[in-house]
Structure formats: structure tokens, C-alpha cells
Chain A
Amino acid sequence: MSGLDRDVLITRVIDGESSPEDWAAFRALAERDPSVWHELADVQQDRAELGSALLEAVSLADRVEAPIDAHAGERLSVRVRTAASWLGWVAAAAVAVAAFVDRSGSPVGSDLESARANLFPISSPEDALKVYFDKGHQAGSVLGEVPERLLVSSTPSPEGGYEVVFLRQIVERQRVQDFYRMGQDEAGNSVAVPYRPLRASSRGTTY
């Protein structure tokens, strides 16, 4: 029997993983070489000591709880960040609306006929959007489009493929005298309510 076989046999015996054949082999070995009993005792003692020291060392594990609350906090802050980015757009939309509406609540420059007169023939929505971007760039009021498009819904199309509804985000710049946000009066009518940014500074406020 090789040294390794002997070690494996002893290991099986002290770990309680030995079969009847292993026990028979061990007894036969012990008859030929009684020192194997001493060896068995030594390994058994090492195993017990190692086990108790390890148990002592890892007992601190009982203090380490699953940080479920911290994780819930993380998930909440992700949701808040997501919501905040949406609220930023809502705020931006509100600002745009406020800029478009004068204090009396009527649209600024509502002479639609004159506005139409300035347009030239447009054959598709893309053409219209391109004109909008070009004109906006020239005027400095359209800064660009956010490359990511937000998927709102997708449904299988009867013609094959999918019909997707998504959000395109366009960044604009406008100069406004005051901020307003949409509110309601006592009768439930929509009114523009003057609004002052919380932390107005010379460097501005980013929503």
C-alpha cells in the first residue's frame, strides 16, 4: 500500500466516509503495521483541533447579516435617480410651456396664420424635424437630440415585426424672464403659477 493510499484510508476512517471494505483494509494494515493506530490518533487530534480553531475563527460570520436594507436603499436611490431624470424632463416641459404662455395664460405669438406663412412645403415628418433642427441650431434654441430613445411600448405588428412607441428627447435652450409651473386654481382650472428655482445662482440650476 502506497503512502497516499494509506493517507486516504486514514482520512476516510476519521471523516466517517469509510466503507466496510475500507475498514477491512485498515484492520489488515494495522495488523501488519500497528503504528497506523498512532497515526490515526494524531490525524484525528489534528482534525479536532483544526475544526475548533476554524470554528472560533469563523464565528464572527454570525455577526455578518445579509444587508437587505442597504440593498433596498440602493434600489430606491436608483429608482429616485430614474424618476428624477424623468421629473427633470417634466420640469423642462413645464418651463417650455411657461415660456410659451404669457402671464395671462394666452399663448405667446399665437398668430398661427403668420407662423404658417413662414413654413415651406414639407413632405414628411423627418423633413419637418430636420427643418426644426436646422432652424433651431441657427437660432441657438435647439442644442441637439439625446441619442438614447426611451422605449414606451412594443407590440407585434400584423405585418410582421414589431410596432414600437418611443420617446425622442430634444434639448432646447430658451431665455425666459420668469419661471412658471402649471397648477390649478380653486375651481380646478389650470393656471401658470410663478416659480422660483430652489438654488438659483449665477452658475444656474440644472434640473
Chain B
Amino acid sequence: MTEPDGASPQARVEDLRLFQAAARSDPEAVRLVWERQRRWVAALLLAYKPREADLEDLLQEVAMTFVRRVGELREAEALKPWLRSVAINAARLAGRKRSIVRRHAEGLRLITEQDPPIQRTPDVVLGQQEDARRLLSLALTLPESYREPLLLRCMQGMSYKEIGRIVGLPETTVETRIARGRRMLRELASAQESVGKPLPRSTPGAGVEEGKVS
């Protein structure tokens, strides 16, 4: 089911059979369908989750919902849009929980010392890899409507058409948002390069730091 729209008819039939078996709660099919979906679901969670939320925890929540409710789905076409809404709900719920905790912690925060400086040793700052992570952190600061299609497009084999089906938008809108998102990302990266700014630390959607996804 991660195959692009150009997937062979044989692959499509195989996907359909697998989905139907999963919908009948066949354990092996459920396992296989999840394995084919989990990476892009993780990318989607990354696009929506608050910075502090743990990506793996959220993915496990989505996996549990998937296993519990995949049997309720009737159409294979509905799988990805449904998984998207499950993932977004999980990410937003995590955001609400965090904001409640944050409100209660504000008083305590006032009396704590300033955050210690981030340790940056030469072996941590690894040229290209670091640039890539920096770019991902920047991408996570883009508005939701741009960062979601942009990240989904980075997942192997997802065409504009397929992304459109998942997010419920026309293909042309997806294409425009990806193009515009890339432009915004390039401008952000150029602006940071020109002032030699370090990694963004307090971004609304960002969750990547020092090569680790929080």
C-alpha cells in the first residue's frame, strides 16, 4: 500500500487482498499492513506533534488504534485518510496534554536557572548530516498546511495524487503547497546561513535535536 500510483496491477491486487484479510482481523495481515504504513505515519506525526512529545509513544498509540479498529474499515481506499486522522488526533491530544502540564509548571519555571547551553562538540556537528537535521528542524517550523505534504513527499514513492487522497486535497493544491513549502524552506535556510544562527530550539512543531527525535 506504500506503492506509488504507478504500482503494477498485481501489486494493487495484492494490497487489496492484504487489506481485506486485515479487515477480517487476520493477525498476519494486520501486522503486514501496519508495517507498510508505519513510516509515513511517523512522518505525519512528526509534522503535527508538539516538540516535547515522544514520537515512538505516539506511533505506538496509533498502532494500537489501528489494530483495534482496522476491522471497522470497509474500503481499502479509506485506510490512509483514516490513519492520518488517527495520527493527527494523537499528536494534537499530546499537544493539549503538554500545554496543561506547561501551564501548571509555569510557576516552577520562573525559579529555575536558565537552561544550560547546548553542548556542541566537533564530533556532534557532522557537516552534511547536521545540515540535513537542521533543514528538517526548519521544515517543522513551516505552517502545517505546507509541512505535511512536504514531509509526505519525502517518503519514498508518495505521489502528489496519493498525498492528495490522504490529506483530502486536489492534486494541484498539493503540488502548489509542496512547491511553496520548498521555497519557504529555502528562504529560511538562507536566512539562517547568512546570520550563522544555530539550530532552531523552540519551534512549534520541531522535534529533532542533535540527531535525536524527541
Binding site for B on A (CB under 8 A): 3-4, 7-8, 10-12, 15, 17, 42-43, 46-47, 49-58, 60-68, 70-72, 74
Beta-carbon contact of A65 and B175 below 8 Å: no
List the A side residues contacting B207 at CB < 8 Å: 57
Which of A10, A47, A54, A72 is the one whose CB lies under 8 Å from B43? A54
> 18 A–B contact pairs at CB < 8 A?
A4-B179, A8-B175, A8-B176, A11-B175, A11-B178, A46-B135, A49-B135, A54-B43, A55-B154, A57-B46, A58-B39, A58-B46, A62-B38, A64-B56, A66-B30, A66-B31, A66-B33, A68-B27
Which of B66, B132, B186 is the one whose CB lies under 8 Å from A53? B132
List the A side residues contacting B135 at CB < 8 Å: 46, 49-50, 53
B213 at the binding interface (Cβ < 8 Å): yes
Binding site for A on B (CB under 8 A): 27, 30-31, 33-35, 38-39, 41-43, 46, 55-56, 59-60, 63-64, 66-68, 128-129, 131-133, 135-136, 139, 150-151, 153-155, 159-160, 175-176, 178-180, 182-183, 185-186, 189, 207-208, 211, 213
Can you name the residue of chain A whose Cβ is closest to the Cβ of B159? A17
Main DSSP-derived SS at the B contact region? helix
CA distance in complex: A4, B177 (Å)? 10
CA distance in complex: A60, B42 (Å)? 8
Given contacts A8-B179, A42-B186, contact A67 B60 (CB under 8 A): yes
Beta-carbon contact of B182 and A66 below 8 Å: no
Which of B27, B35, B179, B208 is the one whose CB lies under 8 Å from A57? B208
Main DSSP-derived SS at the A contact region? helix
Beta-carbon contact of A50 and B139 below 8 Å: yes
Beta-carbon contact of B136 and A53 below 8 Å: yes
Beta-carbon contact of A66 and B34 below 8 Å: yes
Beta-carbon contact of A51 and B213 below 8 Å: no
Given A42-B186, A50-B132, 13 more A-B residue pairs with CB atoms under 8 Å apart are A7-B183, A11-B175, A46-B186, A50-B136, A51-B154, A52-B132, A57-B42, A57-B46, A57-B55, A60-B59, A67-B60, A68-B27, A68-B31
